[in-house]
Amino acid sequence: SAPDAVRVMEVGPRDGLQNEKTILPVADKIALVDRLSACGLPAVEVTSFVSPRWVPQLADAEQVLAGISRRPGVDYPVLVPNLVGYQRARAAGADSIAVFTAASEAFSQRNTNASIAQTLERFAPVLEQARADGVRVRGYVSTVLGCPYQGEVALDDVVQVASALHAMGCAEISLGDTIGVGTPAKARAMLRAVAGQIPMAQLAVHFHDTYGQALANVLACLEEGVRVVDAAVSGSGGCPYAKGASGNLASEDLVYLLHGLGMHTGVDLAALAATGQWLSGLLDQPNRSRTGTALARQ
C-alpha cells in the first residue's frame, strides 16, 4: 500500500523572515522561495501583505510575489490581515491567502490592533471576495497553547476561534503555538478538542521550538491524525509581536522525522538542508536545524 503522506507547509520566507532586523534583498527572497519549491515542497508561504509599518521586512511583498517562478501544483499562500491586504495581494497575483487571528485577546490586540471579534469582522469581506475569486483561504489561530501576555489559553477559546474561521469558509485551519510553550500531552488534547468540531483533514499544526518541544508535539499530533504540518527551513523565525518567541520548527528536522517514520513528503531532504545552510549564511546566523547542521558536516 502507498505510504502515509504528510503535507509540509514551508513558512520560512514569511514566518522565518518577518522578525529579522536586517532586510534581506528582494532577489534573495525570490531565490529562497524558488529553491524551496525546487526541493519538492507542496506549499511555500511567500510573504505577507500586512502593514509595512508593522512588519518592515515584508514591505517588498509585491516584488517578491511577482518575482518567483511558480511550479505547477505548488501552493503559494500569502498572509493577509484585512481587505486592503487582500486587494494588494490580488493585484500582485496571489491565488492563495492566509488570514490570521488568535485564541488570546491580549495577543490579538498587540498583533493586529484589534479584538478577536474585530479580526473576524475584517475577514468577512475578505472571505466573501476570495470565494468569488476562487482564491484558497487558510486560517491561522495563534497562541493555541499559551499567550505571552495572558498566559494560559482556554481550550474552549481555541475551539471557538477555529470553528469561526472554518464556518467563514477557511479551507484549512492552522493551529499555532506561537511562543512554543506547549508540550505533547497539551498539544494532543488541543488538537483532539478542535477535531471534535472540524474534520482532521482540514487541520494543520504550527509549532515554534522555544522550549525544544516542537518535534515531540508534532509526533503527538501525527498520532492523533493530523497530516499537514507547518515548518520553516533552518528553524528561522518568530513573531515580532510575540515577546520571547523563538524560531519555528525546522523543516529539515520535520522531514527527517517523517521519512524516518516511513511517511511520504515528496521533499528532497539533501536539497532542503542545502537551502537551510545557504539561508543561514545570508542571515549570518547559526543554522537552527539539527538535521541541517548534521547533514552539512557530512
Task: Catalogue the active-site residues.
Answer: 239
**Closest to ligand HMG by CB, 91 or 270:** 91
The answer to whether 69 and 77 are in contact (CB under 8 A) is: no
Q: Is 100 in the site for ligand HMG (CB under 6 A)?
A: yes
Contacts 24+ apart (CB under 8 A), 185-189: 185/220, 186/145, 187/145, 187/217, 187/220, 187/221, 188/220, 188/221, 188/223, 188/224, 189/155
The residues, any chain, with a CB within 8 Å of residue 67's CB and separated by 6 or more, are 26, 27, 30
CB of 88 to ligand HMG, least distance (A): 6
Contacts of 205 (CB under 8 A, 6+ apart): 174, 175, 187, 191, 217, 218, 221, 226, 228, 229, 230
Residues 7-36 binding Mg ion (CB under 5 A) are 15
Q: Is residue 45 a contact residue for Mg ion (CB under 5 A)? A: no
The binder of 49, among ligand HMG, Mg ion, none, by C-beta within 5 to 8 A per type, is ligand HMG
197 binds ligand HMG (CB under 6 A): no
Q: Are 222 and 7 in contact (CB under 8 A)?
A: no
Tell me the H-state helices in the chain: 26-38, 61-67, 83-91, 105-112, 116-133, 155-168, 184-195, 214-224, 251-260, 269-283, 290-297
Look up residue 257 and give its three cell numbers.
Answer: 522525522
Residue with smallest beta-carbon separation from ligand HMG: 176
Closest CB to ligand HMG among 231 and 269? 231
Residue 113 or 197: which CB sits closer to ligand HMG? 113
171 vs 261, which CB is nearer to ligand HMG?
171
163 CB neighbour count, 10 Å cutoff? 16
Q: Segment 113-132, which members bind ligand HMG (CB under 6 A)?
A: 113
Burial class (CB in 10 A: 0-12, 13-18, 19+), 149: middle
CB 86 within 8 A of CB 80: yes
Question: Rounded to the nearest whole angstrom, what is the least distance from the CB of residue 150 to ligand HMG in the complex?
Answer: 14
C-alpha cell at 275: 537551502
Q: Select from ligand HMG, Mg ion, none the partner in contact with residue 107, using the beta carbon and a kind-dependent cut-off of 5 to 8 Å.
A: none
Of 239 and 257, nearer to ligand HMG (C-beta) is: 239
One character per residue 65-94, x = contact with ligand HMG (rule: CB under 6 A)? --------------x-xx-xx--x------
> Using CB under 6 A, which residues numbered 136 to 195 contact ligand HMG?
140, 142, 176, 178
Binding test (CB under 6 A) with ligand HMG, winner from 37, 112, 213, 275: 112
Binding site for ligand HMG (CB under 6 A): 15, 18, 48-51, 54-55, 79, 81-82, 84-85, 88, 100, 111-113, 140, 142, 176, 178, 206, 239, 241
Binding site for Mg ion (CB under 5 A): 15
